[in-house]
Amino acid sequence: MINALSRYTILFTLTLLVLAVLSFALIYLFPGDPLTNLTGLVPQNDIQREALIRQFKLDQSYPIQFYHYLQQLFLGNWGYSFISGQPLREEIGIAMPATFELSTYAMVMALLIGVPVGCYAGLKSYTVSDYAINTASIFSYSFPVFWLALIFIMLFSLEAGIAPLSGRISLLFEIPNVTGFILIDILLAKNINHGLALIDAARHLVLPTMAIGLISTAAMIRITRRSVIDVMNSPFITAARSRGLSNRQIFMRHILRNALLAILPLMAIQVTTLITNAMIVETLFSWPGIGNWLINAINQRDYPALRIGVLAVSTMVITLTVLIDILNRLIDPSREKFERGTI
């Protein structure tokens, strides 16, 4: 196991290194001045420019530049947003948790609803309820998330007026950003009406979470159902049954376990989809997350922000996938090689 872990660590570092190289290359690939792309600073005159170039070692060879770049990344000097002039680390520090929070809730929703429903459909495979669930899930799964979100907005916000359509919380609340997770930050905040704020935040959360969550839930149902059916049809379940184990025992000890083990690697893909969907939905719900931030950055041609943002998100996603991968390996002894499947 330690062997595998160290292998993972090496490969993971390697991947991050590749990402770092790519993001470093972006300095030169993006249009405009490499210096600005790197730092987000616009030198006012040539003297300042020279000084900055020397400071960021842009006059040195590429490897040295890259080394310096890595160093700065580690030290947390990620440069400044070209547009707002804020340190990028701060901006990402606010935007990233927002996306993460949204995805987490959607994921929790997908797991809490998707897995039991998927199990149910799998156990009742080829019955009416299974067909109904399956049809519903393939429908939900086919929604383009942006359209679904629009429909939600029209139905629930504009027509029914149940839930607000933008932001994380009414702007009247002033919630200091501590953890980046709004619900936690509300609890940490002082001088506000916590109950009111929590309700308000929850109402803001409902629609975006639903929009992302519905698609992920549908995917989860389909994965779980498939996996449960596969496990149920496998000979070892027949064998267990003929050993006289009770249905409950079989389900809890054998079906569930093996089905979930098969689901886990697929979750890695789901995480990617989920975060992509979260990023798209953010732009519709004005959720102050990383997706919204990146889209704004591209509209504003804020190259330093783009570079760091892309690096940050891909690092996050890859870290998550690798973690799931390792988890999978830890708890699933039987899988020799981790294979990704499909829904």
Partner 1 sequence: MAQFSLYQEEFHPSPWQKTWREFRSSHIASLGLMILIFFLIFAIFAPLLAPYDPLQQNVNALFIPPSWNVNGTISHLFGTDALGRDLFSRIVYGCRVTLGSSILLVLLAMIVGVAIGTIAGMLQGVRSSVVNHLFDALMAIPTLLIAIVIVAILGTGLVNSMWAITLALTPQFVHHTRSLVRTEMKKEYVLASKLDGANHFQLFFYSILPNMIEMLVVQGTIALSIAVIDVSALGFLNLGARPPLPELGAMLADGMEVAYAAPWTVALPGLTIFLIVLAINIVGDGLRSALRKRLTQ
Partner 2 sequence: MSELLKVSQLHFKHSNKKNWLKKPEIFELGPIDLDVKRGETIAIIGENRAGKSLLAKLLVGALKADSGQITLNNQYAPQGVQSTQISHDVRMIFQFSGEAMNPGLPVGKILDEPLRLNTSHNEKERRQLVEDVLIKVGLLREHVYFYRHMLSDGQQQRVALARALILQPKVLVADEPFAALDPSVRSQTVNLILKLQSEMGLAFIFISHNLGIVRHLADRIIVMENGQIVESGKTETIFRWPQHETTKKLILSYQSLVPQQTLR
Partner 3 sequence: MPILDIKNLTLEMETGGTRVKALDRVNLSINSGEIRALVGESGSGKSLIVSAISGALPPQWHITADRMTWKGENLLSMRADERREIMRRDIAVVFQHPIAAMDPSTTLGEQLEESIPNELVEGKLFWQRKQSRRRTAIGLVHKVGIKNHEHYLNAFPHQISSDIGQKFMIAMALVSQPDLLIADDPTRGMETTTKTKVLKLLARLNQTKSLSILFVSHDLLAIASMAHTMTVLYCGQTVESGQMKHIRKRPLHPYTKALLDSAPSFRNDLPPKSYLPTLDGTIPTLQHVPIGCRLGPRCPRAQKQCVVTPAVRKVHDHTYSCHFPLHMDKL
User: How many residues are listed for the chain in this entry?
Assistant: 343
Handedness of CA 120, 126, 127, 132 (dihedral sign): positive
298 sits near partner 1 (criterion: CB under 8 A): yes
Query: Angle 303-331/256-285 helices, nearest 10 degrees?
Result: 170
SS3 content of the chain, % helix, strand, coil (to 5): 75, 0, 25
Cα separation, 327 vs 265, whole angstroms: 9
List binders of partner 2 among 1-40 (CB under 8 A). 1-3
Contact 304, 56 (CB under 8 A): no
Give residue 102's Cα distance to chain centre: 8
String of contacts with partner 3 for each residue 218-247, x by CB under 8 A: ----------------xxx-xxxxxxxxx-
List binders of partner 1 among 148-167 (CB under 8 A). 150-151, 154
> What are the structure tokens assigned to 184, written together?
């936690």
252 sits near partner 3 (criterion: CB under 8 A): no
Partner touching 241 among partner 2, partner 3, partner 1, none, CB below 5 to 8 Å by kind: partner 3
String of contacts with partner 3 for each residue 294-333, x by CB under 8 A: --------------------------------------xx
Partner touching 333 among partner 3, partner 2, partner 1, none, CB below 5 to 8 Å by kind: partner 3
The residue (of 51 and 331) whose beta carbon lies closer to partner 3 is 331
What letters, b where the CB count within 10 A reaches 16 and e where it falls short, cover 77-113? ebbbbbebeebbbebbebbbbbbbbbbebbbebbbeb
337 sits near partner 1 (criterion: CB under 8 A): yes
Best CA proximity match to 257, nearest among 269, 249, 268: 249
The residues of the shown chain that bind partner 1, judged by CB under 8 A, are: 11, 14-15, 18, 26, 29-31, 138-139, 141-147, 150-151, 154, 233, 268-269, 271-273, 275-276, 279-280, 283, 291, 294-295, 298-299, 301, 303, 306, 310, 313-314, 317-318, 320-322, 337, 339-340, 342-343
Using CB under 8 A, list all residues that contact partner 2.
1-3
Site residues, partner 3 (CB under 8 A) = 234-236, 238-246, 249, 253-254, 257-258, 261, 332-334, 336
